[in-house]
Amino acid sequence: MHTMHTPSLPTSDLLLLFALTAPTTPIITKIKMTLISNVNDYQIVAKTKLPKALYEYLASGTDDEQTLAENIQAFKHWYLRPRVMRPVKDLSTVVTLFGHTMKMPVFCSPAGVHALCEPEQGECATAKACEQMGILFGLSQHSTRSIEQVQEAAPNCLKFYQAYILKDRQLTLRLVQRAIRAGYQGIFLTVDSVRFGYREADARNGFNALPAPHRLVNYDEPNTSSVQSTSNNSSGSSMEQTYNGAKHKAWDQNSELMFEQNLSWADVRWLKDQINAIAGQHHSRPIPLIIKGVMTAEDAQLALQAGADGIMVSNHGGRQLDACLASIDALPEVVDAVAGRAPVLLDGGIRRGTDVVKALALGATAVGIGKPMFFALAVEGQQGVLNTLQMLQQETQAAMALCGCRSVDEITRQLVTRHPNGTFGGRFFRAKL
């Protein structure tokens, strides 16, 4: 494990150092590692290690990348109001989510293709880091390690499975059933992806298929499902012909061809009913359904009416609709609409412990990270993810203490404010790859 308290060089100095040195030089590689003392440092190092097309696939957003940039910058519009002379010696970051205890209010959001950054273990490495930290790991339907492989690798980790509704509804259902049978204790349903946003970087770089030997392995179905299959075990190969068909210039435009586009809130009710039926056979407690990709009060209300157990405020990391609000700015209206009836989660832009505290103060129960997870994987694998989570926990603890909060329950909306003059003094820049 690396020392967490090494002073961090300014980003400009880091970039200059990396530009002047070959990434493969052992001495310089060691120096780079000692420079990593915050989440952003991993991205700087990852850019020197990953192929250009892969780095830009991970780092880029849609269209002008306004939302990608504002996901991070919008946190700067919110200011903390420190409270002093309060006892904080026995500070705890523990939080409860759907009856499960997490050691901090941060989790790894479901995101696909981890093996592009960590070929040996893929999602198993991330799940094991989450297991070490005692937090939630979200497994994407588009993972490069299967539902069952991840369960075997991290059996004691709290894991939720993330689903898309496919054109093949029975395949969607079989995947959810596999997750519940394997021991996953929650389901994310991503609802913002009837189409994928167009990422120009992928088209420019020719990133229109997964590089061999990587595949979306969950579509390779075992012969153990009790849900009747209409496609048998040929589904994996037929799906691969779609998502790796290279019909379009960017990969996500190929993979979106698998998704159902005629969706309504009735589909959420259908999935919730199916989850309840499956869970009753395999679990002693209910399996929560969290709707991921909600950005408005209206949709939060409709999601709850359709049977959702939780709401996740997310704009897909700025990779879907450009020019929508940053997640943190959409959070307050969603929290107000939910009005305490269900947990509200958030991802998008979390890079510091102060970001965590701001999100919790605005009503989030916990927050997820996505891009930082990939960059840490690319640099140091499982250890990198563990370090990232530890740094976020340390920063969160410090921010809580300086705000006078001994527990996450004491983080309330009174701790955040807008700037008194209604402006932000910083400059905004378009996100740069």
Task: Mark the binding-site residues for FMN, compressed into ranges.
Answer: 110-112, 140, 162, 190, 292, 314, 347-351
Question: For residue 199, which of 256, 238, 239 has the smallest C-alpha distance?
Answer: 256
Sole residue written with tokens 């020197």:
48
Phi, psi of 386 (to 5 degrees): -60, -45
Two tokens, residue 363:
């009503």
From the list 375, 420, 368, 179, the residue with the least C-alpha distance to 282 is 179
Beta bridge partners of 102: 95
Residue with tokens 């009416």: 305
Three-state secondary-structure class, residue 122: coil
Structure tokens at 177: 């059933």
Return the bridge partners of 158, or none: 136
**Cα 179-185-346 angle, rounded to 5 deg:** 105
48 and 31 in contact (C-beta within 8 Å)? Answer: no
Give the type of residue at 220: D
Q: Give me the DSSP letters along 67-89.
A: HHHHHHHGGGGEEE----S---T
Residue positions in the annotated binding site?
57, 110-112, 140, 162, 164, 190, 199, 292, 314, 316, 319, 347-351
The closest of 114, 251, 120, 144 to 196, measured between CA atoms, is 251
Given the DSSP bridges, would you call strands 78-80 and 416-418 parallel, antiparallel or unpaired?
antiparallel
Residue 306's nearest CA partner among 277, 340, 342 is 342
Residue 373 corresponds to which tokens in the numbers above?
């997870």
Separation between Cα atoms, residue 145 and residue 314, nearest integer Å:
24
Residue type, 173: L
Q: Which residue numbers are catalytic?
A: 316
Q: Binding-site residues for glyoxylate, please?
A: 57, 164, 199, 316, 319
Cβ–Cβ under 8 Å, residues 126 and 114: yes
Query: For 95, which DSSP code?
Result: E
- Rounded Cα distance between 181 and 328, Å, is 34
